[in-house]
């Protein structure tokens, strides 16, 4: 078994890799964690992590700029159902379109748009930057054993855009930021977190451990 | 409110060592920034800031190594500042494992640098650090000016107008230090904090002057900051992160208590 973290010039790959390695160790899994820009390595991996920070269009262009990468991801995740974790803009890329700056097509793996967060309270700052709790809509193996809800653990968010206009069964968790902010999505063998599990201490590490053990 | 206020310890690092030794009981090496970061992680800090005060740019590689080793051990947000002058400096810090990079003098000298950095890496990872001093006389309307070189060199630039300008260029957060209050333990400059927080739509972190537990509360409740940063009160063990958080929570502020005994 192996985990591929997709390197397309975006994101804090180092933290994601170290968090996966640490949780593989803690869960007693013998899983090499590979940071790779090679589509064939992504195709061969048993699990795939797609990080991403920055603007949607830049990340999409970066991913499209690696020859064969989008095809390899689509084949592995949509074709062969490899467990997939998208983080922050890596999650946003799963959507149909991004509306940040110009309209940009996403991977289209889940319906919906990536649109600006619009808190009802104008005193709330954008970006949504900091720690928030998760309101979970249903059970999911990657959340097993993690306390959620208003009294649960916190996740670390840094973003101004989020998934909207999607199907109800796609949203796995929301955060309250003067508006309902999409915090996690899940469909088939895919999960996505708008927050950074690799920066979310206890909650994030537990989630990554669960993802490594997830057998959808 | 489910969204929480951030409590941020700041470590001054010179040539790869913590400048003011961190006085935690169980640290093996109080001068090792990675050890100090681990201790703050375990104590429930919401974020960490490293300020590199290394004089020579030749020695800056050391900081990349510190950041790399911290990111391997601590799965929490990390901001790094000090001597950040080029897009390459930012890239190297982000690749090492920093989540945000703070720009100070380079932004004062060349505002467009903020725009280039934000375009390249996204607004969310570009923090502009503002060192401000009150320049209005008693009885005049309040006015603060940007100072560089550790508060020694005036620039003539109005702090509030400058904050608006760098945010318009793409700064995703303002780290605001009162040079009048820094090191005095007399509390944040709340009027300065409020003036900047009201002027910009991005988070403002208050810094400079914390001496009591109530000062932390005031920075948020009266100053309008979304986070509070302190150095010596944490390093010298005056307060633990837990004490500060319990006090702020008791004062009615939304605080993340993960891992902290009630």
Structure pTM?
A: 0.95
The SS3 assignment for B203 reads coil
Active site residue A71: no
CB distance from B122 to chain A under 8 Å?
Answer: yes
**Angstrom distances, CA of residue B230 to CA of A85, B145, B205:** 35, 22, 10
Measured distance CA(A129)–CA(B5) in Å, rounded: 10
* Choice among A20, A88, A100, A159 that is catalytic: A88
What is the ipTM score, two decimals? 0.93
- Residues B210-259: pLDDT tens digits? 999 999 999 999 999 999 999 989 988 899 999 999 999 999 999 999 98
Q: Give the tens place of pLDDT for each residue, A23-78.
A: 999 999 999 999 999 999 999 999 999 998 888 998 999 999 999 999 999 999 99
Q: Which residue of B has its CA nearest to A153?
A: B258
Tell me what the mean pLDDT of segment A138-156 comes to: 97
Q: Which of B30, B27, B25 is nearest to B13 (CA)?
A: B30
**By mean pLDDT, which of A200-209, B38-47, B146-155 is the weakest?**
B146-155
- pLDDT score for B66: 94
Average pLDDT over residues A138-150: 97
- B56-84 pLDDT, tens digit per residue, is 666 678 889 999 999 999 999 999 999 89
Cα angle B118, B119, B122 (rounded to 5 degrees) comes to: 55
Q: Do A203 and B258 touch (CB under 8 A)?
A: yes
User: For B78-97, what is each residue's pLDDT tens digit?
Assistant: 999 998 999 999 999 998 89
Strand order in the sheet with A113-116: A104-105, A97-98, A113-116, A161-164
- Please tell me if residue B125 touches chain A, with a CB cutoff of 8 Å: yes
Both tokens assigned to B43 = 């104590």
Q: Looking at CA atoms only, how far is residue A129 from chain B in angstroms?
A: 8
Position A14 scores a pLDDT of: 87
Over the Cα atoms of chain A, what is R_g?
16
A20 noted as active-site residue: no
* A91-143 per-position pLDDT tens digit: 999 999 999 888 999 999 999 999 999 999 988 999 999 999 999 999 999 99
> In this complex, is the C-beta atom of B95 within 8 Å of any C-beta atom belonging to chain A?
yes
Question: Confidence class of residue B150 from pLDDT cuts 50, 70 and 90?
Answer: confident
Give the pLDDT confidence score for residue B178 in this predicted structure.
95
């Amino acid at each position: 078994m192996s985990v591929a973290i997709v390197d397309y010039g975006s994101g804090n790959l180092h933290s994601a890799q170290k968090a996966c390695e640490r949780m593989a160790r803690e869960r007693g899994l013998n899983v090499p964690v590979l940071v790779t820009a090679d589509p064939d390595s992504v195709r061969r991996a048993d699990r795939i992590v797609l990080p991403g920070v920055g603007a949607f269009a830049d990340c999409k262009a970066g991913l499209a700029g690696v020859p064969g990468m989008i095809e390899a991801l689509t084949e592995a995740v949509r074709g062969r159902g490899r467990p997939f974790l998208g983080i922050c803009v890596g999650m946003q890329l799963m959507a149909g379109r991004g509306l940040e700056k110009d309209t940009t097509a996403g991977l289209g793996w889940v319906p919906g748009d990536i649109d600006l967060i619009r808190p009802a309270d104008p005193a709330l700052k954008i970006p949504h930057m900091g720690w928030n709790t998760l309101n979970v809509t249903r059970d999911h193996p990657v959340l097993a054993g993690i306390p959620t809800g208003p009294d649960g653990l916190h996740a670390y968010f840094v973003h101004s855009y989020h998934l909207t206009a999607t199907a109800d069964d796609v949203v796995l968790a929301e955060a309250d930021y003067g508006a309902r902010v999409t915090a996690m999505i899940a469909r088939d063998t895919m999960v996505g977190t708008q927050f950074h599990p690799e920066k979310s201490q206890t909650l994030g590490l537990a989630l990554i451990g669960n993802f490594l053990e997830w057998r959808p | 409110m489910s969204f929480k206020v951030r409590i941020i310890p700041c470590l001054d690092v010179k040539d790869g060592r913590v400048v003011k030794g961190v006085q935690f009981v169980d640290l093996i090496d109080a001068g090792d920034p990675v050890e100090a970061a681990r201790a703050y992680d375990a104590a429930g800090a919401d974020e960490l800031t490293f300020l590199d005060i290394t004089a020579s740019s030749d020695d800056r590689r050391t900081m990349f190594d510190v950041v790399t080793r911290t990111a391997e051990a601590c799965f929490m947000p990390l901001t790094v500042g000090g001597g950040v002058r080029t897009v390459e400096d930012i890239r190297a810090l982000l690749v090492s494992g920093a989540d945000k990079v703070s720009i100070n003098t380079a932004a004062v000298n060349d505002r467009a640098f903020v725009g280039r950095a934000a375009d390249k890496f996204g607004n969310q990872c570009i923090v502009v650090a503002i060192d401000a001093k009150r320049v209005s006389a008693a009885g005049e309307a309040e006015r603060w000016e940007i100072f560089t070189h550790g508060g020694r060199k005036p620039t003539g630039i109005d702090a509030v107008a400058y904050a608006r300008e760098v945010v318009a260029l793409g700064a995703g957060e303002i780290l605001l230090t009162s040079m009048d209050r820094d090191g005095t333990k007399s509390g944040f400059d709340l009027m300065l904090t409020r003036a900047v927080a009201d002027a910009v739509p991005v988070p403002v972190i208050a810094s400079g002057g914390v001496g009591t537990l109530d000062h932390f509360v005031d920075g948020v409740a009266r100053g309008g900051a979304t986070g509070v940063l302190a150095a010596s009160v944490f390093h010298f063990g005056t307060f633990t992160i837990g004490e500060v958080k319990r006090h702020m929570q008791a004062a009615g502020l939304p605080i993340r208590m993960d891992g902290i005994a009630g």
